[in-house]
Amino acid sequence: MLVGELADIYEPFYYWNETEQAEGCMHGDRINETDKLRQATAKGFAEQLPEPHTLSDVVREFLYWDWLYQMRNVAAKELDPGGYGDGDRYHIYDREDYLEGKLVTIQAVNHQEAIDVCKWVLEEERFHDRELTDKIILNLVGESADA
């Protein structure tokens, strides 16, 4: 559970100005601006969560967040069968964005880890047709720590 400023930034309407509150909506680039403000404040929760040290750590954390979201979604649907499930996932997105950067910067421990991570990246829809995927693959085919 988030506390303090980190909890506040995920509250609805946290970044809304008086005009937006009066109109009941936020328009255009302002939405992107508030997303960037939130991400800059959260910093991928790097100060609150353990830092991944290997590419395998990064993949395991992605798998964990996906599993957690699925479990929360199932629980929310059981509690409210007519509802939409647990759609509040911004904190997870911010952590996953941080982890994506780690896939580009952490070297593979060995050749097998590079292969395993490469297979996982290629299977993950989130990495399809993205410039980030090219950077990850280039990192994976680079030198590993045991080379």
Tell me the pLDDT tens digit for each residue of 47-73.
888 999 999 999 999 999 999 988 888
- pLDDT higher for 110 or 46? 110
Q: Which pLDDT band holds residue 78 (cuts at 50, 70, 90)?
A: confident
Residue with the bigger pLDDT between 123 and 144: it is 123
CB atoms within 10 A of CB 91: 17
Is the pLDDT confidence value at 89 over 80? no
H-helix or E-strand containing 52?
A: none
Whether 74 contacts 66, CB under 8 Å: no
The rounded distance, in Å, linking the Cα atoms of 109 and 147 is 9
Mean pLDDT of 36-45: 84
Whether pLDDT at 87 is above 70: no
The rounded mean pLDDT for the chain is 87
With H, G, I as helix, E, B as strand and everything else as coil, classify residue 53. Answer: coil
pLDDT at 108: 96
